[in-house]
């Protein structure tokens, strides 16, 4: 039987402890990571192969359902929560199962049986996400894709430049952001820059005019950019 890679996303340490213990009792389950919030979860999904997420719904700032809706290619999901009133929304999102806390081991085993019977595939219909959440000190800030103009890599950080001149510095690598953003709207044009192609004003030589800024076009990205924009080289 193929191993099932599991990720826990829950802000409560006790809840993570319980799920970790249950996963450890089942040899076919492999725990690849634990996360306390959505930012950690974005990074974990990028770093590890994940088959199923045990996802708490009532998390601070970003709920589990909001986080799930933001993913372009979500894994299978088992919701975990102390609130039964969220069950309808959980199943509307095509969750494998919905576990009410405190979770017993018998009920956990039932969820795993459902998981093993479910065909592999995304947990949601391919509904286009419209935003991403990024950490700013103790806050998680929503960034709408249509407001994001371009991104510049700065070592282990990235600067997100938004409409209106707002700049957000986030502790995420450009490759991670490239994977999280919709490829039909955002494109890498340089090893240090990604742009919202809908914001391009003009191209002059090896520079893109976007907002009030000029962005360089890397030699390795020029052909793909021109193909995307259907321009003659």
For 196-224, what is each residue's pLDDT tens digit?
999 999 999 999 999 889 999 999 999 99
CATH number of the domain within which 89 lies: 3.40.50.2300
Per-residue pLDDT tens for 71-108?
Answer: 878 899 999 988 766 555 666 678 899 999 999 999 99
- Note whether residue 25 is domain-resident: yes
| Inside any domain, residue 212 | yes
- The answer, as to whether pTM is greater than 0.85, is no
Domain CATH number, residue 184: 2.40.50.1020
Overall number of domains in the chain: 2
For residue 74, tell me if it sits in a domain: yes
Q: In what order do the strands lie in the sheet with 207-210?
A: 200-204, 207-210, 213-216
pLDDT digits (tens, 9 = 90+) for 144-174: 999 999 999 988 899 999 998 899 998 888 8
The strand pair at 139-144 and 131-136 is best described as antiparallel
Quick one: 61 and 24 in the same domain? yes
Query: How far is 171 from 136, CA to CA, in rounded Å?
Result: 9
Residue 125 covered by a domain:
no
What is the extent of the structural domain holding 109? 4-117
């Amino acid at each position: 039987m193929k191993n099932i890679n599991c990720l826990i996303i829950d802000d409560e340490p006790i809840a993570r402890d319980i799920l970790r213990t249950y996963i450890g009792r089942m040899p076919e389950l492999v725990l690849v990571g634990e996360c306390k919030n959505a930012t950690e979860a974005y990074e974990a999904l990028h770093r590890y192969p994940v088959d199923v997420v045990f996802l708490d719904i009532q998390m601070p700032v970003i709920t589990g359902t909001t986080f799930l809706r933001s993913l372009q290619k979500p894994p299978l999901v088992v919701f975990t929560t102390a609130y039964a009133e969220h069950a309808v929304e959980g199943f509307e999102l095509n969750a494998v199962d919905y576990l009410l806390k405190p979770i017993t081991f018998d009920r956990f085993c039932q969820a795993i049986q459902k998981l093993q019977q479910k065909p592999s595939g995304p947990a949601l219909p391919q509904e286009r996400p419209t935003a991403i959440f990024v950490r700013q000190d103790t806050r998680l800030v929503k960034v709408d894709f249509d407001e994001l103009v371009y991104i510049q890599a700065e070592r282990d950080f990235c600067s997100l430049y938004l409409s209106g001149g707002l700049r957000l510095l986030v502790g995420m690598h450009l490759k991670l952001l490239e994977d999280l953003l919709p490829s039909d709207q955002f494109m890498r044009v340089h090893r240090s820059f990604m742009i919202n192609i809908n914001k391009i004003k003009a191209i002059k030589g090896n520079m893109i005019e976007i907002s009030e800024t000029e962005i360089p076009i890397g030699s390795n990205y020029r052909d793909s950019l021109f193909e995307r924009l259907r321009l003659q080289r």
